[in-house]
Chains A and B, each alone.
Chain A
Amino acid sequence: GAGVSQSPSNKVTEKGKDVELRCDPISGHTALYWYRQSLGQGLEFLIYFQGNSAPDKSGLPSDRFSAERTGGSVSTLTIQRTQQEDSAVYLCASSLPISGVRGYTFGSGTRLTVV
């Protein structure tokens, strides 16, 4: 597609349930990043993929969070047993390696609300 697509755009879930957030990067972009923005906070790095492998998972807040990427394209961020503090906007970005950090293109995000 023309841009980075994230779905759903909004998700309300009950505490304790699992959720899956999807990111469809720009075609041909081999690097993919997940960030989240909690209320009043900056963008917090979660995980980075280069192709299907994740060389940097350092930002995942707990073992309830996991992510995978298949076929070097779509990525899914899974949050198990959601807690209220997981409420945030989850943003995905992709880039071409040659573009480096200047080439990040962000999606519009998934707003997750845990009630």
Chain B
Amino acid sequence: DQQVKQNSPSLSVQEGRISILNCDYTNSMFDYFLWYKKYPAEGPTFLISISSIKDKNEDGRFTVFLNKSAKHLSLHIVPSQPGDSAVYFCAASPNRDDKIIFGKGTRLHILP
């Protein structure tokens, strides 16, 4: 049973436009949410996180939104750049010190 779901396996976005990646979760005990970015043949790298007491966290071009009542979070990248082409994993944890549960990932293609 998938606790973290990314229903879009891939997404294509024009360079300069906004990329929106979505994620749903089922476990109401999750208290901490993260996004990781992965290039081919490399390990995932931490991108941005949000705790359940917030509904938005922004870091440069990246913003994560959390809707606890809908058990939904999204990652916005604006403006999208060619280097943003990668696989993005949504992840969650019951607290900041526990193991992370990952979704299946969304492959983002930024089109020139």
Contact = CB atoms under 8 A, between A and B. Distances in A.
B32 A101 contact: yes
A110 B43 CA distance: 10
A106 B99 contact: no
Given A41-B104, A42-B4, A45-B101, A4 B89 contact: no
A11 to B, nearest CB: 15
Interface of A: 4, 33, 35, 40-45, 48, 56, 91, 93, 97, 100-109
Interface of B: 2, 4, 6, 32, 34, 41-46, 49, 89, 91, 93, 95-105
SS of B interface (majority): loop
Contacts of B105: 42
B45 A106 contact: yes
24 contacts: A42-B4, A42-B103, A43-B44, A43-B102, A44-B102, A45-B100, A91-B44, A93-B43, A100-B95, A100-B96, A101-B32, A101-B34, A101-B49, A101-B96, A101-B97, A102-B34, A102-B49, A103-B46, A104-B46, A104-B100, A105-B43, A108-B41, A108-B42, A108-B43
